[in-house]
């Protein structure tokens, strides 16, 4: 039995449908992400689960209890908003203890719990400071401690890291993930950052225009994206116009590509999709899936180099190839060098146009 079930949930704002027939099951202790572009309905869905928004239809079941029409105060969750939303006039201690006081905890229990939480988020030294005296990352850790204070069964995080700078974000990603594992609290995090979702989530629900268009582990979503939209939203992807020829092979201009055509049939127009890191500069003799051309541009990106490659075989589209810097040293990569590219049959996917 799933810990949280969202059944056929829809939400209209006037005539606009922000979320459409959402079906979700989340297991106890799982960390899931709602991932999608701005405006796709992530926050609306999270707010419906919290009871901060009322769905137009459908139901929400938490721990086998139908909570669809319960007010937020009767639901078992803690929430962290994108903008911290700490009380500016309360100290760190008072911010964290706020919910405990509301729940009429005894003073000594509150002291004990707040100290536990301060230790958990590593803010023991900041207990009497006010939010304006904390960095963004520290404020977000206070918000996290406040959300966890009453030991909720469900932790809801709405873009908790997006207002922070890149270094703090990466640090907090790991802190939140470690904390979640340690506590085993079922967690839903909303994000539009695919890297964040991929590094943190057990399972990702990809959303677009109010719908969940794919769900799966980060690996499944990356390797088996079910649409060109997801394939390009998560990671980078080269798309090359192609068609299926009479011998049921994929054809780009004059080159026949050896790859699985799935359910496509003769004369279908398709897009061949290959990830930049799955293309190699040819070093051994391969027969299939080799194209020749020239390097037009090289970008140095630290751990890898991004090469823009022009080939007549692929309608002159620039192909992006990511070469690990350790390999780049072994290959003679110069602008206007004549080179050949190779990719394996397994790494080539095709999508409809």
Nearer residue to ligand ATP within complex by CB, 38 or 326: 38
Contact positions vs ligand ATP (CB under 6 A): 13, 18, 36, 38-44, 192
Q: Is 47 helix (H, G, I), strand (E, B) or coil?
A: helix
Smallest separation, CB 187 to ligand ATP (Å): 17
Nearer residue to Mg ion within complex by CB, 35 or 323: 35
End-to-end CA distance of the chain: 39
From the list ligand ATP, Mg ion, none, partner contacted by residue 192 (C-beta under 5 to 8 A by kind): ligand ATP
Smallest separation, CB 196 to ligand ATP (Å): 12
Q: What is the largest CA-CA distance in the chain?
A: 79
Nearer residue to Mg ion within complex by CB, 51 or 293: 51
Smallest separation, CB 161 to ligand ATP (Å): 13
Nearer residue to ligand ATP within complex by CB, 44 or 95: 44
Nearer residue to Mg ion within complex by CB, 46 or 291: 46
Cβ count near 77 (within 10 Å):
23
**Cα 344–Cα 243–Cα 246 angle in degrees, nearest 5:** 95
Residue nearest to Mg ion as judged by C-beta position: 43
C-alpha–C-alpha distance, residues 200 and 13, integer Å: 31
Smallest separation, CB 50 to Mg ion (Å): 13
Nearer residue to ligand ATP within complex by CB, 38 or 285: 38
Span near Mg ion by CB under 5 A; candidates 41-49, 135-143, 167-175, 273-281: 41-49
Smallest separation, CB 169 to Mg ion (Å): 17
Nearer residue to ligand ATP within complex by CB, 18 or 145: 18
CB-based contact 84:141 (threshold 8 Å) = no
Smallest separation, CB 36 to ligand ATP (Å): 6
Give the containing element (helix H, strand E) for 24.
Answer: strand 16-26
Q: Does 191 bind Mg ion (CB under 5 A)?
A: no
From the list ligand ATP, Mg ion, none, partner contacted by residue 18 (C-beta under 5 to 8 A by kind): ligand ATP
Nearer residue to ligand ATP within complex by CB, 141 or 192: 192
Name the residue among 251, 247, 316, 311 with its Cα closest to residue 279: 311
Q: Is 208 helix (H, G, I), strand (E, B) or coil?
A: strand
C-alpha–C-alpha distance, residues 172 and 219, integer Å: 22
Nearer residue to Mg ion within complex by CB, 38 or 263: 38
Structure tokens belonging to residue 182: 């340690």
Span near Mg ion by CB under 5 A; candidates 26-34, 40-48, 193-201, 217-225: 40-48
Helix axis angle for 107-120 and 92-102, nearest 10°, is: 130
Smallest separation, CB 230 to ligand ATP (Å): 16
Radius of gyration of the chain (CA): 25
Structure tokens belonging to residue 147: 């959300």
C-alpha–C-alpha distance, residues 306 and 286, integer Å: 23
Q: What is the DSSP letter of 284?
A: S
From the list Mg ion, ligand ATP, none, partner contacted by residue 41 (C-beta under 5 to 8 A by kind): ligand ATP
Name the residue among 27, 33, 11 with its Cα closest to residue 214: 33
Smallest separation, CB 34 to ligand ATP (Å): 8
Positions in 42-61 near Mg ion (CB under 5 A): 43
C-alpha–C-alpha distance, residues 333 and 342, integer Å: 15
**What are the residue ranges of helices labelled H in the chain?**
42-50, 92-102, 107-120, 136-148, 166-183, 194-200, 218-223, 228-233, 325-328
Smallest separation, CB 42 to ligand ATP (Å): 4
From the list Mg ion, ligand ATP, none, partner contacted by residue 40 (C-beta under 5 to 8 A by kind): ligand ATP
Draw the binding track, 166-185, toward Mg ion (x: CB under 5 A; -: no contact): --------------------
Q: Is 23 helix (H, G, I), strand (E, B) or coil?
A: strand
Q: How many residues bind Mg ion (CB under 5 A)?
A: 1
Positions that interact with Mg ion (CB under 5 A): 43
């Amino acid at each position: 039995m799933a810990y949280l079930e969202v059944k056929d949930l829809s939400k209209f704002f006037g005539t606009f449908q922000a979320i459409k027939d959402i079906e979700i099951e989340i297991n106890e202790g799982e960390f899931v992400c709602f991932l999608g572009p701005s405006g796709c309905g992530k926050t609306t869905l999270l707010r419906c689960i919290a009871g901060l928004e009322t769905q137009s239809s459908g139901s929400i079941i938490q721990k086998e209890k139908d909570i669809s029409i319960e007010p937020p105060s009767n639901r078992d969750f803690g929430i962290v908003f994108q903008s911290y939303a700490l009380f500016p006039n309360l100290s760190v201690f008072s911010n964290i203890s706020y919910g405990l006081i509301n729940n009429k905890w005894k003073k000594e229990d509150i002291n004990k719990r707040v100290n536990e939480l301060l230790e958990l988020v590593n803010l023991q030294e900041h207990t009497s400071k006010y939010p304006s005296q904390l960095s963004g990352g520290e404020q977000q850790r206070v918000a996290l401690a406040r959300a966890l204070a009453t030991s909720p069964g469900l932790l809801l995080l709405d873009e908790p890291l997006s207002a922070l700078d890149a270094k703090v974000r990466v640090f907090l990603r790991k802190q939140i993930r470690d904390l979640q594992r340690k506590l085993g609290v079922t967690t839903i995090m909303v994000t539009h950052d695919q890297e964040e979702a991929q590094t943190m989530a057990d399972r990702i629900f990809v959303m677009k225009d109010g719908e969940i268009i794919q769900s799966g582990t980060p690996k499944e979503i990356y390797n088996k994206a079910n649409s060109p939209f997801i394939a390009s939203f998560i990671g980078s992807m080269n798309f090359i116009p192609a068609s299926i020829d009479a011998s049921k092979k994929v054809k780009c201009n004059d080159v026949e590509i050896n790859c699985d055509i799935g359910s496509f049939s003769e004369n279908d127009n398709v897009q061949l999709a290959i990830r930049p890191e799955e293309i190699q500069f040819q070093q051994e003799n391969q027969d299939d899936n080799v194209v020749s051309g020239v390097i037009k541009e090289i970008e140095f990106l630290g751990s890898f180099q991004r090469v823009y490659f022009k080939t007549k075989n692929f309608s002159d589209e620039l192909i992006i190839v990511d070469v690990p810097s350790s390999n780049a040293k072994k290959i003679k990569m110069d602008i206007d060098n004549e080179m050949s590219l190779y990719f394996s049959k397994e790494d080539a996917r095709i999508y409809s146009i």
